[in-house]
Structure 1
Amino acid sequence: MDRFATLPDPAQATSLDDLVGQLRRLKAWAGDPSYEVIKDRVNAAWTAAGRPAGELVCRSTVAYCFRPGRRRLDTDLVVAVAQALHPETGYVTQWRQTLRVVGGEIEAVSQVRVQDSLPQDLAGFTGRTGELDRLRHAARDGNAVVISAIEGMAGVGKTQLAVHAGHLLHREQPFERVLFVNLRGFDPDPAQPPADPAAVLDGFLRLLGMPAQQIPHTLEARAAAYRDRLTGTRALVVLDNAATTDQVRPLLPAVPGCLTLVTSRCSLAGLDPATHLCVDVFTPDEARQFLARAAPGTPAGDDPDAVRRIAERCGHLPLALGLVAGHVRAKPGWTFTDHADRLDERHGDRRLETGVELAFDLSYQHLPADRRRLLRLLALHPGPDFDAYAAAALADTDLAAGRAHLHHLAGDHLLQPAGPGRYTFHDLVRAYATVRATDEDRPPERRKALTRLFDYYVAVAATAMDTLHPAEAYRRPRIPPSAAPAPALTDPDTARAWLDGERLCLSGIAVHTAGHGWPAVSVRLSSTLYRYLDSGHHADALAIHGHAQHAARQIRDRAGQAQALLGAGGVHFQMGRYESATVHYQQAYALFRQSGDGIGEAHALNNLGVVEQRLGRYARAADHLEQALARSRSAGDRTGEARALNNLAVVERWLGRYAAAADHHTQALAISRHTGDRIGEASVLNNLGEAEERLGRYESAAEHQEQAVALFRRLGNPRGEAWALDSLGTVDARLGRNDRSAQHHRRALDLFRDIGDRAGQTWALNGLGEAACTAGDPRRALDHHTAARVIAADIGDRQQQARAHTGLGHAHRALGDPAPAREHYRDALALYTDLGMPEAGQIRAHLAATEAAGADRR
């Protein structure tokens, strides 16, 4: 393929193999450089970006990206390879988007629900006394590193043994921390592949109190941080349903005092566990005890040996026995002999070697017809778990019936609890129910059920967003109320709690619907949830918006594609990827223009103006924002008008036009209050305070910023709260309240790190540096300003680079080091001059004073 051939389009790929094929074509298009050359280009780019040597790649790793038959791809590496072959920003962005769209499994492995408590213990737990004694003995040495591997066939009760042992040990000597995760080692659903250990560590670190932005990117670094957090802590970690030793090894705390229980169908001998339990089926005595406890009061009937016969037909398998016990309880007039005879009849029909499918059939056939139907339909749910509302939507029934069915299915051991009011499947039961659904429900019936489910989720998500952000309702698609029972999300707290609880389900549905015949659902979820996803849910946001963009392209929905691009661009903006954000916003703007959507055009222009402002390109920013203001006014979009005025005023402030900025902020505040845009009102209050601070109106500035902090907090908007706190810290410093200033900057920094806002971190770090220098601690100021300068340089924020250099100059000057002070002042002066900001005059004065002092000493 020569260089004049068509540049391969990654968006044409619909599978990982297709994507690898496009990568191979790109390599040929680029002149077919060797893997060694590509490796050198990737490592050079990563080194320039600050990656440590330990994260650089070797030739074989690069070559592996080009091999077909892959189940997973390293997204960062593939993007870096594409960039090495054709380093055009927009083209590289297309590769990143496509990887997220077609790499459904890549996203699925990253979606895992971790818990900081054990699942509910099984009432009437039976047997396993020898195994429990061994686990007790292993746990007694609190200073040792203890790993217990519990292995055995599917349905043998490994999870219940681990959970029961955990509860038992916790009662005897409470653990300080408990962590639990289902690693999905053998889920039959391809949409639920084995969990990525890096994603599990991300969840564990969050539960252990690490802010999201501080979580390292590499698996090795996350594992080290995980061990560090658990050091000196008595902890219990349960890793359930593991696929391989490689999946488990990074998740082992490997620190004294931590007990780790691992369950798996496979041998995990490579872990070298302190205790290795091979769990078998129940002994005959244990099986009899289990049935007697699970179905108390059931008479033996004519055959005193009936319980033994039932246990044998079930192969003494705990899962099968549990299902049969549920059937026994549901037939109060039957004896154990009746049940044994029935099993004998069915065994003769099916000639099964084990009792698993036999027990499934027995439990399933004796369910009421509507409960059987619900079980089948629940197996089609693309999320990891579900509640009674989802059940009611699938079955087209009322909430009470949905709740009752789930309760009875769990009582019959066909579902497992997954949290308060939530349930999930054992993987064997899901596989069985999925086959039943395929065999018994016609495709149109299954499609209708899933359509009801998706309509329910979209409608309730829309209700939640209308409750949280009513002033932006006009920007979201108009969604009719749910025809299925739905929770009452009438206040922000309940709305946000519902979104938080269903986030993994919503993400799974957006991915599923994009590729399985409901593309409009994926598009609506993206357009509905974008503001909620702004709150630091970067991975979910990129997955949802990426799939929505792909789905919108399929159905030729330009407006939906543009909205998805806006959402994805917002994520890149928050992560400090300004050039990538610009590409997304430009593409969105072009699509809005093609579809004649003036409000969308204004929205895209407004976002482009904010990016240009962050990059210090103030003339271009003002041009975009003035166009956004004009389009908002012509379209009658008053909320958009207020936001354009607010952002335009920020640009005026940086250019030293403080009075004009305050005037525009005041206009924006009046409009935001008139339209009921509380988020916009809080943002304007904060920015108005910043303009007043520049005008020397410190008391008024502090009052407005305190109002902004309170309003953002009441609205549950941590990003806005962080920006207002940071601004308030600056005003406090002007008022001589140095302790309060540092507290506010520190709290802002914590929030910025937690939500992954890198730009905000530079502001808070610079604020902390200024507070430290004012308080007489220039060495601490050096640390803060250095950290701010590194991040600002990485994301291209020249204004905060200049501010950091200014702070470093002040700190060195206070330490009596004029030479580095002069260097930093010169760097700050060059940046401020290029930006056209009035701070350049102040820096000239500092530089002149420092140079004069140096001349006097000479």
Structure 2
Amino acid sequence: MGELRVLGAVEAWAGERRVELGHARQQCVLVVLAVDANRVVSADQLLERAWGDRLPSRGRATLHAYLSRLRRALSDVPDVQIVHRSGGWALQADPDAVDLHRFHRLLARARTAAEPVTEVEQALGLWRGDAFTGLDTPWICAVRETLEQERRAAELTHTDLALDAGRHAELLPVLAIRVRENPLEERMAGQYLVALYRSGRQADALAHYQAVRQRLAEELGAVPGADLQALHRRILAADGTLHAIGGRASAPADEHPVPRQLPPAPPRFTGRVAELAGLSSALDSAVGESATVVISALSGAGGIGKTWLALHWAHRNLDRFPAGQLFVDLRGFSPDGQPMSTGAAVRGFLDALGVDPAQLPVDPHAQAARYRSLVAGRPMLIVLDNAAHTGQITPLLPGSASCTVLVTSRQHLTGLVAAHGAHHLPIDVLTEPDARALLTARLGAERVAAEPAAVADLLACCGGFPLALSIVAGRAQIHARLPLATLAAELHDAGLGALDEDDDPAASLPAVLSWSYRALTDQQAGVFGLLGLAPGPDLGLSAAASLTGLPVAEARAALRGLAQVSLLDQDASGRYRMHDLIRQYAGDTARRDQPEADRAAAVRRVVDFYLHTAHHSERLLDPHRTPIEVEPPAPGCRPDPPADSAAAMAWFEAEHAGLLAAQQAAVAQGLHRSAWQLAWTLDTFHRRRGHLYDLLAAWQTGLAAAEHVAEATIQAQANRNLGHAYALVGRYDDALRHLHQSITLAEHADDHSEQAHSHRALAWAWERQGDDRKALDHATHALRLARAVGNPTQEAAALNEVGWYAARLGEYDQARVHCEAALTLFQRHDNRNGAANTLDSLGYIAHRTARQVDAIDQYQQSLALRRRLGHTYQAANSLEGIGHPYAALGRHREARTAWLEALDLYQSQRRVADAERVQEQLAALERHPTEHTGSA
């Protein structure tokens, strides 16, 4: 079996034979590929990571020569080979054949293993010294530091597990050495105290605690943490439970997923010594206090390096947050003026914490409460990046002092400091020595020393702004032979003006961005400008390819080039995002340098991308819905249709903000047909996810656009959908007005199918207002129209609704006949949504006619289908319904459980009357537990 070892000196083995891998630089190339095993690494990335600032004169030729040698060297190593792929090179390997990845896999398995200590021991046994021993580039050093932190965390975990297994005598000598080397590490100190106490050395344990306490006070002005203090009290009291296996003071293994959402640690981080110390001091000073969450608020101008500072500190302190780390970019200052909603941030955190989306409450307050419950008592780090204001942050704050929160913002967040005791840490420009160190780290000491006057000019022009310095360094690295004096002259001539945003008065970057723009190739410059016109906060690769009109491979290459010169970021999911100042500048360049016709064509292509992909996705979600015809996409547009309904729902989730923005972009461009069709494609997703106000806004825009199309059937559809959306949010006068207008337009167009849809929507609106007789009249009319049209799915829907309203009026025999006929039709045509609705109706009828067991069965079937479809809005109805037969049979616990869940959903969906009704039913159940309620 083949093996590649990098956790120590870099070695390759073919069975028992060691393979010669060449000199150190060639091994650096192999390390870069090994760290990203089974993923493509571009030639530019290989050069930057394996050579750093010491690029060879014939970079790519040298790289290809090294790769060829490595491929020959590894040809005899089973399970490990270097392959060429589109866009770069990859080390193709069994993950267990690379010790670095085996280390991670063993630690992951330990979380669920019956004997986790064995897995962790095997993981630690893979280490033979410092990772990549003897190899030294900035990138390799940064990866080595991260791995060393992971190794130390694994050692601490192993010690906890071994203590739980009663191996204190074996551990005691090792722990004695460790605490001497790490005298302020409290988790390690606690482990040593337990080992001493279990070895019959209570006095030594107490003495060591006092030594730790004194050293913390003298060196940090801090006191031991709550866990160490509690352990000290137990030892002082000679607590016998500490002798039991697992009797440590530490918490049991966490059963929740451990999120690791932090982006990578920033490479070549320099300076910020005082700020890093301030962050650590804020956390250390709170040790032993249990009343408040530690919140540090980093404020400063855009591009000042707040996020880099937060991430660098976070990665240096990973061992202090064993329960995981959450990270979100709140987009507080983005060019479209739309910060991320706190609800979206909470939903992202809940997903990372393992909450099933089907069980997620819809109400933002309920979601925030669920999030706070999940993080309570867990030592976690929560990074809230790029916040707009205190109000955006407050719902994301945990309620447990076990958590630490880092916030970055351009605002000073005075409210966060005043109301929540946040530690305010202003971030200013880099000092001259730190700015010089940053340039030296990027360009190399030799190149900086060779042109001291030019470096002084560059530093003066950049004014200590990290973003400006990074762009300067990137240009200098790309043009390695260009004198720094030439770069300094260009930058000095352009100058630095004031920022064009009121809240960023510290410095200006347009000149730097202008200079960076001029360095781009023609294709990169064109792509850069168009990205400034893109709708939404970010873009996937397919959307970017459609926006630019380039083939996907060319678009990817151009985007990679922009990312390399710090004009574009790519997140862990592969989506592309621009810093807000850069995006503003990009849009300005497009408006200045590209003809209006070209800009309009780009917007048309990206709107068509969203429209056609959404249309395909919607057809997967609801294939029985009456379709609409969408014109072919514009030339150069590349839709990316999902494969199945689950992928379609995931695509809608990921692209929701972009879809809404694309609809507005369509309106701005006069693409009215596309604008109303985007509302149509979003309709099913909005209804199933309960995004009622997004549904309303989309159809308000959709109707305005439809009125420009001047086709009666389209306007009838838009009025009907907008009317239904108004009814969903309780605006019944507006609902009735638009629904009657829909019928008028459909009659004028002689469209019986659309008339049937509108009468069904009117029936629902009248039911919500308490007039079941009018509701039945409209449903009956809809049934006649549907039969005349000859559409079996539409006929089935109308049959079910006639049955439902008849049942509400007490006409149960007629109701059952209609609903059973509807169910037969729905099942024949495999319409799961319609079947779920009809089973709910039959459950209601069965309950009202005292067939409670049948009612429970039918409600359960309906609920299962609705949950499978992600239809949380209708699931609430089934939950309320099933509670009635449970109560009628005396199964009060099950009734209460169903009604409590229904209540949560109703409240989250702002269905006030429904929530009040369920609260009354719950109260009646508590007052008269031996009786059952008969209402429904």
Give the TM bin, normalised by the shorter chain: 0.5 to 0.7
- Are 2:576 and 1:428 equivalent residues in the alignment? no
Q: 1:662 to 1:299 in 2, by over 3 A?
A: same
Structure 2 letter corresponding to 1:684: T
Q: With structure 2 as the length reference, what TM-score do the two structures score? A: 0.63
Q: Which residue of 2 aligns with 1:498?
A: 651
Q: Which residue of 2 aligns with 1:856?
A: none
Structure 2 letter corresponding to 1:323: I
Bigger Rg over Cα = 2
Q: 1:347 to 1:528 in 2, by over 3 A?
A: closer
Q: Which residue of 1 aligns with 2:486?
A: 342
Q: Which residue of 1 aligns with 2:613?
A: 460
Separation in 2, partners of 1:715, 1:254: 33
Structure 2 letter corresponding to 1:284: E
- Are 2:793 and 1:639 equivalent residues in the alignment? yes
Structure 2 letter corresponding to 1:127: G
Contact map agreement 1:514 1:550 (CA 8 A) in 2: no
Which is worse superposed, 282-291 or 461-470? Answer: 282-291
- Are 2:617 and 1:469 equivalent residues in the alignment? no
Q: Which residue of 1 aligns with 2:439?
A: 291
- Are 2:878 and 1:746 equivalent residues in the alignment? no
Q: With structure 1 as the length reference, what TM-score do the two structures score? A: 0.68
Q: Which residue of 2 aligns with 1:128?
A: 272
Give, in angstroms, the shift of residue 528 of structure 1: 2.0
1:513-545 per-residue CA deviation (whole Å, 9 max, x = no partner) reads 224422222211112221211121122112211
1:568 to 722, 725, 730: 722
Contact map agreement 2:362 2:905 (CA 8 A) in 1: no
Structure 2 letter corresponding to 1:661: A
Q: 1:392 to 1:339 in 2, by over 3 A?
A: farther
- Are 2:935 and 1:803 equivalent residues in the alignment? yes
Separation in 2, partners of 1:389, 1:498: 12
SS at match of 1:150: strand
Q: Which residue of 1 aligns with 2:337?
A: 192
1:379 to 518, 532, 551: 532
1:663-702, aligned counterparts within 5 Å? 663-702=817-856
- Are 2:306 and 1:162 equivalent residues in the alignment? no
1:153-196 per-residue CA deviation (whole Å, 9 max, x = no partner) reads 332212322343344445433577746443534x4x3x315678
Separation in 1, partners of 2:633, 2:827: 27
Contact map agreement 2:826 2:835 (CA 8 A) in 1: yes
Q: 1:689 to 1:371 in 2, by over 3 A?
A: same
Q: 1:264 to 1:478 in 2, by over 3 A?
A: closer
Q: Which residue of 1 aligns with 2:281?
A: 137
1:2-35 per-residue CA deviation (whole Å, 9 max, x = no partner) reads xxxxxxxxxxxxxxxxxxxxxxxxxxxxxxxxxx
Higher helix share: 1
1:61-95 per-residue CA deviation (whole Å, 9 max, x = no partner) reads xxxxxxxxxxxxxxxxxxxxxxxxxxxxxxxxxxx
More RCO (CA 8 Å, sep 6+): 1
**Number of equivalenced pairs:** 656
Separation in 2, partners of 1:583, 1:360: 52
Give, in angstroms, the shift of residue 372 of structure 1: 1.9
Which is worse superposed, 197-206 or 346-355? Answer: 197-206
Give, in angstroms, the shift of residue 138 of structure 1: 0.9
Contact map agreement 1:313 1:343 (CA 8 A) in 2: no
Alpha-carbon RMSD across the aligned residues, in angstroms, is 3.9
1:454-853, aligned counterparts within 5 Å? 454-472=607-625, 474-478=626-630, 480=632, 484-535=637-688, 536-758=690-912, 761=915, 764-765=918-919, 768=922, 775-776=929-930, 803=935
SS at match of 2:425: strand
Separation in 2, partners of 1:677, 1:626: 21
Q: 1:490 to 1:223 in 2, by over 3 A?
A: closer
Structure 1 letter corresponding to 2:528: L
Structure 2 letter corresponding to 1:346: E
Q: 1:692 to 1:248 in 2, by over 3 A?
A: closer
Give, in angstroms, the shift of residue 445 of structure 1: 0.1
1:90-239, aligned counterparts within 5 Å? 117-140=261-284, 141-142=286-287, 143=289, 144=292, 146-174=294-322, 178=326, 180-182=328-330, 184-185=332-333, 187=334, 189=335, 191-192=336-337, 214-215=363-364, 238-239=383-384
SS at match of 2:935: helix
SS at match of 1:600: helix
Contact map agreement 2:327 2:385 (CA 8 A) in 1: no
Give, in angstroms, the shift of residue 403 of structure 1: 3.4
Contact map agreement 2:321 2:381 (CA 8 A) in 1: no
Structure 2 letter corresponding to 1:685: L
Q: 1:662 to 1:759 in 2, by over 3 A?
A: farther
Contact map agreement 1:545 1:564 (CA 8 A) in 2: yes
1:192-341, aligned counterparts within 5 Å? 192=337, 214-215=363-364, 238-241=383-386, 259-265=404-410, 271=417, 275-295=423-443, 303=451, 307-331=455-479, 334-335=480-481, 338-341=482-485
Separation in 1, partners of 2:801, 2:320: 59
Separation in 2, partners of 1:703, 1:179: 43
Separation in 1, partners of 2:774, 2:362: 30
Give, in angstroms, the shift of residue 303 of structure 1: 3.4
Separation in 2, partners of 1:361, 1:128: 28
Separation in 2, partners of 1:757, 1:150: 39
Q: Which residue of 2 aligns with 1:388?
A: 541
SS at match of 2:624: helix
Q: 1:170 to 1:763 in 2, by over 3 A?
A: farther
Contact map agreement 1:321 1:359 (CA 8 A) in 2: no
- Are 2:579 and 1:447 equivalent residues in the alignment? no
Q: 1:752 to 1:405 in 2, by over 3 A?
A: farther
Separation in 1, partners of 2:910, 2:318: 35
Separation in 1, partners of 2:796, 2:814: 15
Separation in 1, partners of 2:580, 2:392: 18
Contact map agreement 1:732 1:738 (CA 8 A) in 2: yes
Give, in angstroms, the shift of residue 443 of structure 1: 0.5
Q: Which residue of 1 aligns with 2:87?
A: none
Q: 1:266 to 1:664 in 2, by over 3 A?
A: closer
Q: Which runs of 5+ in 1 are unaligned?
A: 1-114, 786-801, 805-858
Structure 2 letter corresponding to 1:311: L
